[in-house]
Structure 1
Amino acid sequence: MQFLPLEQLNIDEKILKILKDRGIEKLNPVQTEAINKGLLKDERLLVTSPTGSGKTLIAELGIISHLLNKGGKAIYITPLRALTSEKFSELKVWEKLGYKVGMTSGDYDTDDAWLKNYDIIISTYEKIDSLWRRNPSWLKEVDYFVLDEFHYLNDPHRGPVVESVAVRIRYKNLLALSATIQNYEEISKWLNATPVTTDWRPVPLKEGVIIPEKKSSYKVIFSNNESINIKGNDAILAYVNYVLQHGGQVLVFRNSRKIAESTARKIASNMGLFKMDKELEKISNEIKEVDDAGTTEKEDLAELVRSGVAYHHAGLSKGLRDIIEKYFIQRKIKVIVATPTLAAGVNLPARSVIVGDIYRFNRQILGFNEEIPIMEYKQMAGRAGRPGFDKEGEAIIVVRNKSEADRVFKKYILSPPEPIESKLGNEASFYTFILGIVSSEGRVTSDEVEDYAMGTLLDKDIVKSYLKKGLNWLRDNEFIAGDDDLVLTKFGKRVADLYINPFTAKTFKDYLTRNEKSCNVAYLHLCAYTPDGPRVSVSRNEMYDLVDLSPCPLFIEEPDDEDEFYNYVSALKVGMIINDWIEEVDEDIILGRYGIGSGDLRSIIDTMDWLTYSGFNISRVLDLKEHAEAFYILNLRVKDGIKEELIDLVKVPGIGRKRARLLFENNIKKPEDIIMNVDKVKSLLGSRLGEKVAKDAARIIAGNA
């Protein structure tokens, strides 16, 4: 394996200094091969290598060398907002060379004109896809694209968007980065890129299984034929203890939130030696002070971290997740028990990874009986081994017996991940793709749309079949007009700009055009029932109780199909959650009443904010004035979780639902009242905040004058 000293690189001295200031003296084998394959000369590359092998630095060198040599702008694209924030922090270092680094994600109904002043932009695939539809002038200046975590092309949910973005830039300056891709030759050919592929890792990885051997003991067998025997009554607890005794940290992956939480509690109860640690006590107190989390969550985690243990999943608030990640990186929290989302979301290595389950829940066949993909296991295992701390990382899978161990070894440890395939092969994804092409081009012939579609990874016969059906469907439902020359209708343009699924738009259109105005729950249920709506699990007890609790007739009739009825009730549960939210029900009560976490609530609010805004715009473009009015008020209330009477107050920065209610109950009901009662506002909110709020209120009034 070749390591390349920085001095041998033909790059600007200022770049060398920045790299050396970061402690980088030489490039590792992956980075060296990328250089040898033309990274600094704008060669199009597909780099596939394990997690933690330094792919971000490859992207940085590619971006900076391009900007220095050619000018223009560069975009670094990630699949997740958490990764976008992480990469933004890392790339900010290049502002030392005078380049401005910006970040954008979310809020799809804008062209982000302010980015014209930035040189390096970090964003998500969805945001870039939405920007292409609006065609801002600054986007034409971007001539270098980094496609990070490119194996997300295989993800059923995000894959279609990743592919849509890749299709547009297959002939531009491109650098795709990915974990190991089995069919990298096929994918690199599709991207018109040179493959750079290696299994090199900065910390070697041992993979194995843990098997019950005899009473109170387990055997760990690794792929290199090493084995160890450990004692204990539970495989996970036994291996956690083993790692901690040898000075390591552990990531445990479980297949559900409840199991992750209960496993964390079991581990914590077994770790009395950390109970009196003063630093852990400080972390516990910090958790109690988090603003965006429910009381029960905070109390539970505050107790756990006293033992050096935490759980981590999407149900937790961002504030809680940030604290857990921060102190795990600082090695103060020793064990995290997580759901698999953590494996893809953030760079959080540990010496040892324990994969507690190779099965996940499948509602269609009712149970934890669907085996996870190999790629998902590889993502989890890839977190094992901390550069600078560990000589090697260990990833083990918990199995029940020897026969299962043999099968698991063969499938997950000795086999490569599944080949990457197109995920555009369904109506919703493909029709969205066509709509996006017509939107970004403005006017396009059906032959040009076919050229774009033939540039996807889909089988060409499937493309032809979907293309004909898709164009007819989009015409029939008034998204596009024209036979050979295709343009968006006014309705189609608004849908494309909103970045909603065309089937979501059709759902809005179908139900709103044939129904009169109804109550808030009916509108919220309609939003949640669309293909873009948030999904929540529904227990058997809730199935019919929720239907009985609906305060008014819904726009949508109860379906007869069992699966569709589940979706119907799930949407109703979301509607009830948001209705409680806008009626200012206390957050702790909402979390307890519906069995959700604060992270779930925030995610539901964000999605329903977008969908009520979309409902308003769809109603307006269809000239449905009463529905537009209802959606407009609803959208203003959803974002902050307020009754209608507080809408004016929350327009003032720094005033949320709780402060607005406090002011309202003290007869301060609009921004003008704040200006007229500054001393009273200061006494209610505190002197410093009250002063700031008064100034912001004055600015709002002046802006409306």
Structure 2
Amino acid sequence: TVRGPTLGVTLATLRRRNPDLQTVALSATVDNPEAIADWLDAALVESGWRPVDLRTGVAVGGEVDFDDGTSLSVDLDETEIDGDGDADDENDPTEVTAALVADAVADGGQCLAFVRSRREAVDLAERLAEDGLAAELGIDEAAAAAAEEATDVDGTLTGRQLADCLRTGVAFHHAGLRSGHRAVVESAFRERDVACICATPTLAAGVNVPARRVVVRDQRRYGEGGMAWIPTLEVHQMCGRAGRPGLDPHGEAVLVADADTRGEVRERYVEGEPEAVESQLAEPGALRTHVLAAVATGFAATESEILDVFEGTFYARETGAGGLADAVAVAVDDLVAAGMVARETGGVEDYRLVATAVGETTSKQYVRPETGERIVAGLRAAADLSEATTLTAFEVICDTPDMQDTYLGNAERADIYQFARSNAAQLTTDMTDPDDFEGWLESVKTARILDEWIGGATVEELVERYRIGPGDLDSRVERAEWLLSAAEALGETTGVRVPAVSRARSRL
């Protein structure tokens, strides 16, 4: 993919240094391949070949109409009764999904069922397990072995739920699972020891687990503006998992809808094209990061030279020379204001850009300029505290854009607020200062979790206490190690030593 700004800049730099570089770009779901090929000075080769034919359809009730003119009918268990006392299975997307999965498995196939959230992935897997989905497949022994592997990873509630599902030949998969759990699920599915995986869309991104039938139950999910349609590209990634080479005569992708949404679902996802690829270098934070890198590594010492570095990017092709020049000028001003870059004047209008010591260290540590600026400010504030603790160190690194947010539920907001008040003497940010108070509280929650982790709390305890996935804890610990290392380096650079940073890092 060329959407990642780091890859885009790296590729542009390589091609600039070696014009004869041969580049091969591959994608199954790009709507603007001509633009990509033109950018790479490459010949565009398009092919409709697929190792297993794919047919895509929309399900309303138990009836599926596919794009190749064929249809499918599945039986719905008439057990769910709505509040008016009427059978409502055909309007319940979960009932339709369960029926579609059961039909595929009964026919000897495997199935992937995609839903919008982690909780719903677990709920659907447990529902299918209770239904005895894979009871007649003869995989009891292998499924039990997979369950034992999952149990060995940890003793969290999530791990126990997964093991219980695996024993029945069903699994769930989402980003909150630990890497060990995900590996067990993916391996068992490839070995055909699992009949169905209920997953969030993360499974569709780069994990090779093809299935005979893919069921996409949810095409909308919650965003900043409320419920919104999932991008077509993302749905195509899910549907592309349908069809196991050498095992299936064809793959089937089924989108669950109702009578009201049938037309729009078909238009968007069956007949529609995926969104065009756009460069993420257009995001100001990404551009600042790469402008700093260009200056810190000596590739560029003027805005003109920076433009030379970026002129071969897809972003430059899309925005044009004027747009790129304006964006770079803003990025340079931002970096100067942040103390990452300085202008060394050689005349009235003659100056060169140089990375400051802080800017150079920030770039070498691969953290964003905003993260470097926040860490330096945090270290200085921590040095002024009567006693900086490991909680102080974690608060500094967690309140940065390079640390993933930790969801703050309504029920725990008051508790984290009170924790922040009670520990104000150990925090570098006054509670009246943050522009984004909610975001700061989330960083305090993450810092508290990490501090309890090095204090001896177990994965099981933290997962239950803070309503996070065990995989979420692993990712936060991994990022904390990286950011504490950056904080140590920036402390060396600035001469601001905060021993608590090293203590926190050594105990992770």
Q: TM-score, normalised by structure 2?
A: 0.88
In the alignment, the residues of structure 1 paired with residue 506 and residue 271 of structure 2 have an alpha-carbon distance, to the nearest angstrom, of 54
SS in 2 for 1:336: strand
- After TM superposition, the structure 1 stretch with the greater mean CA deviation from structure 2, 388-397 or 433-442, is 433-442
Query: Corresponding residue for 1:556?
Result: 429
In the alignment, the residues of structure 2 paired with residue 468 and residue 165 of structure 1 have an alpha-carbon distance, to the nearest angstrom, of 21
Pairing 1:163–2:8 present:
yes
Pairing 1:526–2:396 present:
yes
* CA deviation map 1:372-414 (0-9, x unaligned): 111100110110001110111001111122x311111111111
Partner letter of residue 248 of structure 2?
D
Query: Corresponding residue for 2:41?
Result: 192
SS in 2 for 1:385: coil
Instruction: Give yes or no for contact 2:134–2:170 (8 Å, CA) kept in 1.
Output: no
In the alignment, the residues of structure 1 paired with residue 14 and residue 132 of structure 2 have an alpha-carbon distance, to the nearest angstrom, of 52
Pairing 1:253–2:123 present:
no
* CA deviation map 1:482-505 (0-9, x unaligned): 454333222111111100000111
Pairing 1:288–2:151 present:
yes
Select 1:568's aligned residue among 431, 440, 443: 440
SS in 2 for 1:194: coil
Query: Corresponding residue for 1:488?
Result: 355
Query: Corresponding residue for 1:33?
Result: none
Query: Corresponding residue for 1:503?
Result: 370
Query: Corresponding residue for 1:577?
Result: 449
Partner letter of residue 208 of structure 2?
N
In the alignment, the residues of structure 1 paired with residue 438 and residue 179 of structure 2 have an alpha-carbon distance, to the nearest angstrom, of 29
In the alignment, the residues of structure 1 paired with residue 355 and residue 133 of structure 2 have an alpha-carbon distance, to the nearest angstrom, of 65
Pairing 1:446–2:303 present:
yes
Pairing 1:544–2:414 present:
yes
In the alignment, the residues of structure 1 paired with residue 410 and residue 108 of structure 2 have an alpha-carbon distance, to the nearest angstrom, of 45
* CA deviation map 1:589-621 (0-9, x unaligned): 111001112111110100111111111211221
How far apart are 1:480 and its partner, in Å?
2.3
Query: Corresponding residue for 1:374?
Result: 232
SS in 2 for 1:177: coil
Q: How does 1:217-616 map to 2 (within 5 A)?
A: 218-232=62-76, 233=89, 234-271=95-132, 274=135, 277-290=140-153, 293-362=154-223, 364-365=224-225, 367=226, 369-401=227-259, 403-441=260-298, 444-458=301-315, 459-460=319-320, 461-483=322-344, 484-515=351-382, 516-517=384-385, 518-550=388-420, 551-553=422-424, 554-558=427-431, 564-616=436-488
Partner letter of residue 507 of structure 1?
R
* CA deviation map 1:71-120 (0-9, x unaligned): xxxxxxxxxxxxxxxxxxxxxxxxxxxxxxxxxxxxxxxxxxxxxxxxxx
In the alignment, the residues of structure 1 paired with residue 13 and residue 299 of structure 2 have an alpha-carbon distance, to the nearest angstrom, of 15
Q: How does 1:200-219 map to 2 (within 5 A)?
A: 200-212=49-61, 218-219=62-63
How far apart are 1:454 and its partner, in Å?
2.9
Instruction: Give yes or no for contact 1:559–1:568 (8 Å, CA) kept in 2.
Output: no
Name the % identity. Answer: 30
How far apart are 1:339 and its partner, in Å?
0.8
* CA deviation map 1:636-661 (0-9, x unaligned): 112xxxxxxxxxxxxxxxxxxxxxxx
Instruction: Give yes or no for contact 2:156–2:459 (8 Å, CA) kept in 1.
Output: no
In the alignment, the residues of structure 1 paired with residue 446 and residue 230 of structure 2 have an alpha-carbon distance, to the nearest angstrom, of 28
Instruction: Give yes or no for contact 2:213–2:251 (8 Å, CA) kept in 1.
Output: yes
Instruction: Give yes or no for contact 1:294–1:598 (8 Å, CA) kept in 2.
Output: no
SS in 2 for 1:509: helix
Q: Structure 2: which 5+ residue stretches go unaligned? A: 77-88, 90-94, 345-350
In the alignment, the residues of structure 1 paired with residue 339 and residue 158 of structure 2 have an alpha-carbon distance, to the nearest angstrom, of 47
Pair 574,621 (structure 1): closer, same or farther in 2 beyond 3 Å: same
Instruction: Give yes or no for contact 2:156–2:470 (8 Å, CA) kept in 1.
Output: no
How far apart are 1:477 and its partner, in Å?
2.6
Instruction: Give yes or no for contact 1:250–1:336 (8 Å, CA) kept in 2.
Output: yes
Partner letter of residue 592 of structure 1?
E
How far apart are 1:303 and its partner, in Å?
1.3
SS in 2 for 1:264: helix
In the alignment, the residues of structure 2 paired with residue 382 and residue 414 of structure 1 have an alpha-carbon distance, to the nearest angstrom, of 15
In the alignment, the residues of structure 2 paired with residue 244 and residue 543 of structure 1 have an alpha-carbon distance, to the nearest angstrom, of 44
In the alignment, the residues of structure 1 paired with residue 389 and residue 134 of structure 2 have an alpha-carbon distance, to the nearest angstrom, of 56
In the alignment, the residues of structure 1 paired with residue 302 and residue 134 of structure 2 have an alpha-carbon distance, to the nearest angstrom, of 70
Partner letter of residue 221 of structure 1?
D
How far apart are 1:560 and its partner, in Å?
7.8
In the alignment, the residues of structure 1 paired with residue 189 and residue 285 of structure 2 have an alpha-carbon distance, to the nearest angstrom, of 40
Q: Which structure would you say has the larger RCO, counting Cα contacts within 8 Å and 6 or more residues apart?
A: 2
* CA deviation map 1:460-479 (0-9, x unaligned): 23312221121122223332
Instruction: Give yes or no for contact 1:443–1:485 (8 Å, CA) kept in 2.
Output: no
How far apart are 1:584 and its partner, in Å?
0.6
Instruction: Give yes or no for contact 2:31–2:273 (8 Å, CA) kept in 1.
Output: yes
Pair 248,407 (structure 1): closer, same or farther in 2 beyond 3 Å: same
State the superposition RMSD in angstroms: 1.9
Pair 245,514 (structure 1): closer, same or farther in 2 beyond 3 Å: closer
Instruction: Give yes or no for contact 2:392–2:500 (8 Å, CA) kept in 1.
Output: no
- After TM superposition, the structure 1 stretch with the greater mean CA deviation from structure 2, 243-252 or 220-229, is 220-229
Q: How does 1:123-202 map to 2 (within 5 A)?
A: 150=1, 153=3, 159-170=4-15, 171=19, 172-202=21-51
In the alignment, the residues of structure 1 paired with residue 158 and residue 183 of structure 2 have an alpha-carbon distance, to the nearest angstrom, of 14
In the alignment, the residues of structure 2 paired with residue 391 and residue 488 of structure 1 have an alpha-carbon distance, to the nearest angstrom, of 59
In the alignment, the residues of structure 2 paired with residue 561 and residue 620 of structure 1 have an alpha-carbon distance, to the nearest angstrom, of 27
Q: Structure 1: which 5+ residue stretches go unaligned? A: 1-149, 154-158, 213-217, 639-705
Partner letter of residue 395 of structure 1?
A
SS in 2 for 1:178: coil
How far apart are 1:435 and its partner, in Å?
1.1
Number of residue equivalences: 469
* CA deviation map 1:426-465 (0-9, x unaligned): 3211111111222333553331111223333331233122
Instruction: Give yes or no for contact 1:294–1:597 (8 Å, CA) kept in 2.
Output: no
In the alignment, the residues of structure 1 paired with residue 134 and residue 484 of structure 2 have an alpha-carbon distance, to the nearest angstrom, of 51
Query: Corresponding residue for 1:10?
Result: none
In the alignment, the residues of structure 1 paired with residue 300 and residue 237 of structure 2 have an alpha-carbon distance, to the nearest angstrom, of 42
SS in 2 for 1:611: helix
Instruction: Give yes or no for contact 1:294–1:591 (8 Å, CA) kept in 2.
Output: no
Instruction: Give yes or no for contact 2:300–2:306 (8 Å, CA) kept in 1.
Output: no
Partner letter of residue 558 of structure 1?
M
SS in 2 for 1:224: coil
